[in-house]
Chain A
Amino acid sequence: MIHASLKELSQALAAKQISSVELSTLFLDRIERLNPDINAFVTVDREKSLAMARAADARIAAGTAGPLTGIPVAQKDIFCAEGWTTTCGSKMLANFVSPYDATVIRKMHAEAGMVSLGKTNMDEFAMGSSNETSYFGPVKNPWDRARVPGGSSGGSAAAVAARLAPAATGTDTGGSIRQPAALCNLTGLKPTYGVVSRYGMIAFASSLDQGGPMAASAEDCALLLNTMVGFDERDSTSLDRPAEDYARDLDKPLAGLRIGLPREFFGEGCDAEVMAAVRAAIAEYEKLGATCVEVSLPNSHLSVPAYYVIAPAEASSNLSRFDGVRYGYRAPEYGNLDDMYMKSRAQGFGAEVKRRILIGTYVLSHGYYDAYYLQAQRIRRLIANDFVEAFKQCDVIMGPTSPSTAFKLGEKAADPVQMYLSDIYTIAVNLAGLPGMSIPCGFAGGLPVGLQLIGNYFAEGQLLNVAHRYQQATDWHARRPEAIA
């Protein structure tokens, strides 16, 4: 049961082969046994989870269940959930018990009837690519516990990879769903900006942040995405669009699909074995009836520099709310009000978060705004325009998700720039606001490799179709780390 797909779990629950309480207990027991080593969860509350499972079982018995009612899910600790400690991986919020639900949480709990197993570890305020900036300690990659799971949704990735949960939520500002999915052999989807509500999702860089599903397959992601999306008047950037079933096109044949291969993603800078796995996956797509065309994203090399102006600028503004007054950490000793702010923020934030606040403060400050912030926004436009041109020649863009497999814990922790460059292939997608996925496509040195799929705006259904057909023809996504049985 722990390896079952969401569809199989849904069928088992509907057929009363297992109850939600039994299923949830199975996963809660695994968390109790395996989490002390992996550190994927920062909060588990068995009683709360089982209460949700009992409510789900009642819905199933009453015949009012939806497709995912009673299925357990892990929630990235960036989503506020009423009555649950919601830390965002930070000392600043270590004792913050949310008084309200994020829209994503409300939809999953109240509407879909899913059972939250707990809150997953993450880089502090989602700022990181290895999960090492968490106040609650690093997460270990279930494929090799000396290595990182990626970040910032590293806890969610490790939880699903170790089958501590059938699926999880993540958020992606510069690659935080796709890169950990790649490093942990999962399927992860970052939707088009505006499709999933950001209400109650603790803000990092508001023009880039987007929630999405992380699971073992494209089919699982489609089902989970169906529960997450929808217009929300509480998010000023939520898009009011007709509802769609993201699983509707999963089985569509790929004959005639045009795959764009950006020459900038196939040059230097990527590990050779990773590249070999990516190329083999593209060859498999050709067997499935797709054709490939070379495209160009000539400004993609500027995505990391532009991102490290825009994201910190937005973060410095967003994180100014943490001042020790209304919620969060307050320093135990201080003098005047200013001193209280200075000490609370100095003690409550970790080093990487402080660095990004400082970068953001600087690029927004008088005399530097035009040279940095406006220049970055102009480059953002160039990057977005590159995709518009590329999509005139192709339906979907493919390339590596990450330039390497999972790196060792501590390997890049001392050098922020090296860490930033691990998101070199994912960041442009956030800047443009496009949907992107990572799917398992092989192994290099025994570690998972992710294939990135980038779609045009609102092409989530198509991306999931493209991913699903590949997963029908290959079994990379079904491989599990040996050590977790």
Chain B
Amino acid sequence: MSLTLEQVKRIAHLARIETSDAEALSTQGHLNGIFQLIEQMQAVDTAGIEPMAHAQDLAQRLRDDAVSEADRRAAYQAVAPETEAGLYLVPKVIE
């Protein structure tokens, strides 16, 4: 398998990472090297093997539907790039 330059740009867009043509070209080389390593997996017959998502075979815990955290909005918003009146500011998305 080999990624085309167009595919690299498409993935970068999906990941929301702006990529110049020059960056995409060097990234393409690196990614194809990495995928060559990854391709070793394809030679293995894994029919009937249950995928392992996690090291511990546990069900998700449930907790009571009760307030457990203090209101620390001001502290958490203090680290935001831009806030106003308790809201996070971003460029306008609805005209």
Contacts and interface: CB of A to CB of B under 8 A. Distances in A.
Contacts of A323: 16
A281 interface: no
A98 B55 CA distance: 29
A327 B80 contact: yes
Given A99-B78, A378-B49, A378-B52, A343 B18 contact: yes
A110 interface: no
A346 B19 contact: yes
Interface string B52-84: 111110101101000000001001101111100
Contact of A372 (B11, B38, B56, B88): B38
Contact of B81 (A309, A325, A416): A325
A117 B45 CA distance: 50
A464 interface: no
Interface string B2-16: 010001100111111
Contacts of B41: 302, 305-306, 309, 372, 375-376, 379
Interface string A299-320: 1011011101100000010001
A375 B31 CA distance: 19
Contacts of B38: 305, 308-309, 372
Interface string A338-355: 111111011001000011
A384 B60 contact: no
Contacts of B12: 358
B50 A381 contact: yes
A355 B61 contact: no
A379 B46 contact: yes
A483 interface: no
A326 B80 contact: yes
Contact of A349 (B11, B17, B36): B17
A420 B17 contact: no
A378 B51 contact: yes
Interface of A is mostly: helix
A236 B61 contact: yes
Contacts of B27: 354-355, 358
A418 B20 CA distance: 26
A383 to B, nearest CB: 9
Nearest to B55: A433
B27 to A, nearest CB: 7
B55 to A, nearest CB: 2
B37 interface: yes
Contact of A381 (B16, B52, B88, B91): B52
A119 B7 CA distance: 39
Contacts of B54: 207, 237, 433
Interface residues of A, number: 72
A362 B79 CA distance: 31
A335 interface: yes
A380 interface: yes
Interface string A75-116: 000000000000000000000111110000000000000000
Contact of B51 (A239, A377, A416): A377
A200 to B, nearest CB: 13
Contacts of B75: 99-100
A355 B30 contact: yes
B42 A375 contact: yes
A193 B56 contact: yes
A194 interface: yes
Contacts of A362: 3, 7, 11, 31
A337 interface: yes
Contact of B40 (A305, A325, A326, A365): A305
B85 interface: no
Contacts of B42: 371, 375
A337 to B, nearest CB: 5
Contacts of B37: 304-305, 308, 417, 420
A382 B46 contact: yes
A328 B81 CA distance: 7
B90 interface: yes
B44 interface: yes
Nearest to A194: B56
B44 A207 contact: no
Contacts of A236: 60-61
Contacts of B49: 378, 381-382
Given A338-B16, A372-B38, A417-B36, 14 more contacts: A96-B79, A100-B72, A237-B54, A239-B58, A305-B41, A325-B80, A327-B81, A342-B16, A346-B18, A355-B27, A355-B31, A358-B15, A358-B27, A379-B46
30 contacts: A96-B79, A99-B72, A99-B75, A99-B76, A99-B78, A194-B55, A207-B54, A302-B40, A308-B38, A323-B16, A326-B76, A330-B81, A335-B91, A342-B13, A342-B18, A346-B19, A355-B31, A355-B34, A357-B17, A358-B15, A358-B31, A365-B14, A374-B51, A376-B41, A381-B49, A382-B49, A416-B33, A417-B34, A417-B36, A420-B37
The 8 closest A-B pairs by CB, nearest first: A433-B55, A377-B51, A378-B46, A330-B81, A346-B18, A381-B52, A342-B18, A193-B55
